[in-house]
Amino acid sequence: MRGFFPDCLAGGGVDARPYDLIVFNDVFEHLPDVNQAMAACRARLAPGGRLDINLPASSGALYRLSRRLFRIGRPGSFERLWQKDFPSPHLSYFNSVNLARLAPRHGLKPRQSFRLPSLP
């Protein structure tokens, strides 16, 4: 399938049955409309189904440092984090708080949030 979720699911022989699991692995931050994506996930999840989202966090040390450098006129690392001028740049950044606020707006209940180690 090609395209943005959920539009990429339309047609093309995609199974219309509900999904037990939907996973966004370093994809969610690239979506042009995260509210539409969350609503589509809710509509396509089976009862008791699970939505897993893995994404870079705005609460991480590299993000915070890059943002500070950007504010003092050194935009390079911050623009790289946002993937500026890439074919599919980051359009949003989340942290555990604002992601946990987004889910209930679409009838989803956050169950677990944790950080993957990025710096030893």
Query: What tokens appear for 118 in the block?
Result: 């990025």
DSSP symbols for 47-86 = EEEEEEEE--BTTSHHHHHHHHHHHTT--HHHHHHTTTTS
The per-residue pLDDT of the chain, averaged, comes to 87
Taking residues 2-14, what's their average pLDDT? 66
Q: According to the model, what pLDDT value does residue 8 have?
A: 73
Question: Would you list the domain boundaries of the chain?
Answer: 18-106
Percentage of the chain beyond pLDDT 90 is 61
Q: According to the model, what pLDDT value does residue 12 have?
A: 52
d(CA 7, CA 36): 10
Q: According to the model, what pLDDT value does residue 71 have?
A: 96
Single-letter amino acid, residue 60 = G
Q: What is the separation of C-alpha 105 from the centre of its chain, rounded to a whole number of angstroms?
A: 15
Helix (H) or strand (E) holding 46: strand 45-54
pLDDT digits (tens, 9 = 90+) for 29-80: 999 999 999 999 999 999 999 999 999 989 888 899 999 999 999 999 999 9
Fold observed for domain 18-106: Rossmann fold (3.40.50)
Task: Give the list of residues 6+ apart from residue 111 with CB closer than 8 angstroms, or none.
Answer: 50
